Amino acid sequence: MTKNTWKTYKTALESLAKYSKEYDLNVLWPIQIDVLTRFIAYLSYSGLTSSTINTYLSGISHKHKLLGVTDTTCTFIVSKTLEGVRRKSPKLSDIRAPVTLEILHKIIRSLPSVCSSHYESCLFASAFSLAFFALLRIGELTADTSTDIGAHTIFINDLSLKFSNCKYELHLKICSSKADQRGISTTLVIPQREADLCPVSMLRAFLGISYPATDKPLFLHFNGSPLTRFQFISILKKTLYFCGVKDHIRSHSFRIGGASHYSRMGASDSEIKKWGRWVSDAYTSYIRIW
């Protein structure tokens, strides 16, 4: 289970404790069904979305299992209450815009103007292009903080460059991910492109000026500290401002844009799902038409 999931589950239990204290309830485990249904209503009227409430219930369900008691979150009445909340709450549209090839070209071209050195420009150019063409999640590219690497961060020994038919080919092993908590792993094969946005060429350029140890994250600053999520987002914002892109671009926009790009290039749904390592049909919401 990821650190963020643990945090969410802890928040769920804290919310349950706050609710029980506020209404002077004696909450026992397993949680009474009527307490759960009123707790769901409480969360809904507090402004939480149905998906967040469902995640909170997952946290409470997990607590039941740890205690070895009957999981009352799975009962018919509770599931129907959740269904009612879902119907009452309108589904929010995803306003994140995709990174297109044109936008990717603009932000990478603006890096020398917003980064502190040539080294940093090469680092972010490689990170941004890989995020797009390999459909990577930000947690696979970056560390959580400068001292906390994260569970799914890609390391230098997770990749290999192979030369065949006068071209390089990148083999990128994703050891674990949000959808692969057991670490089954998958390997992405990314061929060299003729265009100037080639992720393989940009990665080779970065590796040509960096000397990372095999037991370190792929993207390290010159001082040896890992690229963090905050830094990735910060430089992305600076490049967007510099080149005048006003679309609602966020870190996940690379993954959305990559999926949309491959769809436009004729890739099948099953191929996109495999490349993006989706375990459900959620990938369909990532494919945008422009």
- Closest listed residue to residue 174, CA positions, set 218, 208, 207: 218
Spatial separation of the C-alpha atoms in residues 53 and 58, rounded to whole Å: 9
16-29 tens-digit pLDDT: 999 999 999 888 99
The pLDDT of residue 185 is above 70: yes
Which 3 state secondary structure label does DSSP give 237? helix
Domain 101-154+193-286: CATH class, spelled out: mainly alpha
Per-residue confidence at 43, pLDDT binned at 50, 70, 90?
A: very high
> So where are the chain's domains?
3-88, 101-154+193-286
**Under 8 Å CB-to-CB from 67, ≥6 apart: which residues?**
29, 30
Model pTM score: 0.75
What does the pLDDT look like over 225-269, one tens digit per residue? 999 999 999 999 999 999 999 889 999 999 999 999 999 999 998
3-88 topology per CATH: DNA polymerase; domain 1 (1.10.150)
The amino acid at residue 213 is A
Residue 181 has pLDDT above 80, yes or no: no
Is residue 26 helix, strand or coil? coil
Mean pLDDT of the chain: 90
Give me the mean pLDDT over the 101-125 stretch: 97
For range 130-151, the mean pLDDT: 92
Whether the predicted pLDDT of 290 surpasses 70: no
Residue 285: the pLDDT is 82
The predicted structure's pLDDT at residue 125: 97
Under a CB-based contact definition with an 8 Å cutoff, are residues 88 and 48 in contact? no
Give the whole-angstrom CA distance, residue 185 versus residue 162: 20
